[in-house]
């Protein structure tokens, strides 16, 4: 069995369309919307292609129309892109996102999979780095062969006891200095971390057409082109201010 795992699409349909891996099952780990210019098209894709999916914190924020205030970093970008995201989604799109569970346990090919967006103990919001020791206490009591997570936009996989932990990285908004779209394949129990180039100018043109603050457009274009915030020296320290998750 060949399983495609995607997460953190963030309304970037051009990145999503670059993934052409053959697969038997598709799993989506949430955050389909916000930041990018194509929220409706990305929700449509998940509805049509994902066999199983869970809700991310951005999906939840849109569905509940959560008020948010941010002066810098990704919190600011969330605040700025929430209104156009809401305007682009139909009631049907929002109902679909609202219907997604925050956790899902399923069996595929004789293996048990736990799907969450963030962590098993806080499925929507807990930010845990790609560090084995940080993850060990978060998997205590979890009885699964695979735990699949997103949220951090960091691609990684490692073994903790008998469990394989996997973050496929972000399809639509990588943050590690490599702008390529990220995803993962699990085939016969073996994890493959994947990256693929996509039409970044298509996404940045879509962002430029959005009715949002020019500062936000520049920030997003920066991240799409470089895979992280860049400053004038190109060292990624983040000239646009603090970078809360």
> Binning pLDDT at 50, 70 and 90, where does residue 241 land?
very low
- Tens digits of residue pLDDT in 61-86: 999 988 877 778 899 999 999 999 99
Predicted pLDDT of residue 229: 77
- Is there a domain that residue 136 lies in? no
- Is there a domain that residue 233 lies in? no
Per the structure, the count of domains in the chain is: 1
- Is there a domain that residue 236 lies in? no
Q: Where are the beta strands (DSSP E) in 49-101?
A: 52-53
Average pLDDT value for residue range 31-55: 98
- Is there a domain that residue 38 lies in? yes
Which token pair is 165? 């932990």
- Is there a domain that residue 27 lies in? yes
Count of positions (residues) in the chain? 245
Look up the domain containing 216 and give its range: 2-102+170-226
pLDDT at 234 over 60: no
> By the 8 A CB rule, do 230 and 239 touch?
yes
Predicted pLDDT of residue 231: 52
CATH code, 215: 3.60.21.10
- Tens digits of residue pLDDT in 220-233: 999 999 999 775 33
Burial class (CB in 10 A: 0-12, 13-18, 19+), 167: buried
Rounded Cα distance, 167 and 118, in Å: 10
**Under 8 Å CB-to-CB from 106, ≥6 apart: which residues?**
52, 112, 113, 115
Angle between helices 91-99 and 57-64 (to 10 degrees): 130
- Tens digits of residue pLDDT in 84-143: 999 999 999 999 999 999 999 999 999 999 999 999 999 999 999 999 999 999 999 999
- Is there a domain that residue 153 lies in? no
Please list, residue by residue across 26-59, b when 16 or more beta carbons sit within 10 angstroms of its beta carbon and e when fewer do.
bbbbbbbbbbbbbbbbbbbbbeeebebbbbbbbb
pLDDT at 242 over 60: no
Sheet holding 52-53, edge to edge: 52-53, 25-28, 2-6, 181-187, 190-196
Predicted pLDDT of residue 235: 34
- Is there a domain that residue 212 lies in? yes
């Amino acid at each position: 069995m060949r399983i495609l795992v995607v997460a953190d699409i963030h309304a970037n349909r051009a990145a999503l369309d670059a993934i052409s891996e053959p697969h038997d099952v598709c799993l989506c780990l949430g955050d389909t919307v916000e930041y990018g210019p194509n929220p409706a098209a990305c929700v449509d894709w998940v509805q049509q292609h994902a066999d199983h999916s869970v809700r991310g914190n951005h999906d939840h924020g849109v569905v509940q129309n959560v008020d948010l205030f941010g002066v810098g970093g990704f919190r600011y970008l969330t605040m700025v892109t929430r209104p156009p995201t809401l305007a682009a989604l139909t009631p049907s799109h929002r109902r679909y996102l609202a219907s997604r569970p925050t956790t899902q346990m399923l069996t595929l090919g004789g293996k048990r999979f736990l799907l969450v967006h963030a962590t098993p103990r806080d499925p929507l919001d807990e930010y845990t780095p790609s560090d084995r020791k940080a993850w060990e206490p978060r998997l205590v009591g979890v009885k699964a062969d695979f735990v699949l997570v997103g949220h951090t936009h960091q691609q990684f996989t490692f073994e903790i006891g008998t469990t394989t932990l996997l973050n496929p990285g972000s399809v639509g908004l990588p943050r590690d200095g490599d702008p390529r779209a990220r995803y993962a394949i699990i085939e016969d129990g073996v994890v493959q971390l994947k990256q693929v180039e996509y039409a970044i100018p298509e996404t940045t043109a879509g962002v430029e057409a959005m009715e949002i603050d020019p500062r936000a457009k520049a920030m997003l274009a920066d991240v799409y082109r470089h895979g992280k915030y860049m400053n004038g020296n190109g060292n990624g320290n983040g000239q646009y201010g603090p970078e809360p998750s």
